[in-house]
């Protein structure tokens, strides 16, 4: 049987290996309450992504948060860490850390930010601890390679506490082919 399997970009494969190696070497930052997110910059993100400005799904705060993530990750030849939500809220000039978490959820739903590593805590998967910051929404095959829990994340997000996250997740799910939506799951999503 000759199936057409989309090819994973070499950069995506390298990114997965790099994130796993950094986490194995203990290159993570603990802020006193949780393991902070390691940002990995997509190699093609060497300038501000013009497609971000024309994205009709994202609101201005979502775009500002992605630009902040790019700004943090871009100069880091070594490791870059996503600041805590409260610090990101101050950097983005928003009053609530919850707004930051909502924006991060929407960026993940739309594949501008892709979870590429997760840690186990007490025998179960915890929230993502490494993200790929992308210069355009990552193609679906690459997203599923980096984040096998992407579809369960979307399914969980349709029950999110914020209506906009629910709407975006539902929109993205409705556009996925049935074979992706019905694929076997590898774990649980944060």
127 within 8 A of 113, measured Cβ to Cβ: no
Average pLDDT over the chain, rounded to whole? Answer: 78
- Identify the residue whose tokens are 């929109």: 171
The CA distance from 66 to 45, in Å, is 12
pLDDT, residue 46, reads 54
pLDDT, residue 6, reads 67
Q: How many CB atoms lie within 10 A of CB 167?
A: 16
Instruction: Kindly tell me if the per-residue pLDDT of 2 is higher than 80.
Output: no
Mean pLDDT confidence for 51-75: 88
Query: Could you tell me the two tokens for 150?
Result: 């992407």
Q: How confident is the model at residue 77 (pLDDT cuts 50, 70, 90)?
A: low
- Calculate the alpha carbon distances from 162 to 2, 27, 101, 106, 157 in Å: 43, 32, 10, 10, 9
pLDDT, residue 81, reads 77
């Amino acid at each position: 049987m000759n199936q057409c399997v989309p090819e994973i970009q070499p950069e995506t494969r390298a990114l997965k290996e790099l994130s796993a190696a950094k986490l194995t070497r203990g290159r993570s930052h603990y802020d006193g309450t949780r393991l902070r997110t390691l940002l990995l910059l997509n190699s093609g993100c060497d300038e501000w992504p013009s497609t971000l400005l024309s994205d009709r799904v994202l609101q201005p705060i979502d775009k500002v948060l992605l630009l902040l993530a790019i700004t943090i990750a871009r100069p880091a030849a070594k490791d870059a860490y996503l600041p805590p939500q409260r610090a990101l809220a101050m950097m983005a000039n928003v009053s609530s850390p919850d707004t930051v978490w909502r924006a991060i959820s929407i960026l993940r739903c739309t594949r501008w930010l892709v979870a590429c590593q997760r840690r186990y805590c007490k025998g179960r998967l915890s929230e993502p601890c490494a993200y790929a910051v992308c210069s355009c929404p990552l193609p679906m095959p690459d997203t599923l390679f980096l984040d096998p829990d992407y579809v369960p994340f979307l399914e969980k997000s349709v029950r999110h506490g914020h209506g906009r996250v629910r709407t975006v997740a539902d929109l993205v799910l409705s556009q996925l082919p049935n074979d992706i939506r019905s694929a076997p799951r590898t774990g649980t999503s944060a």
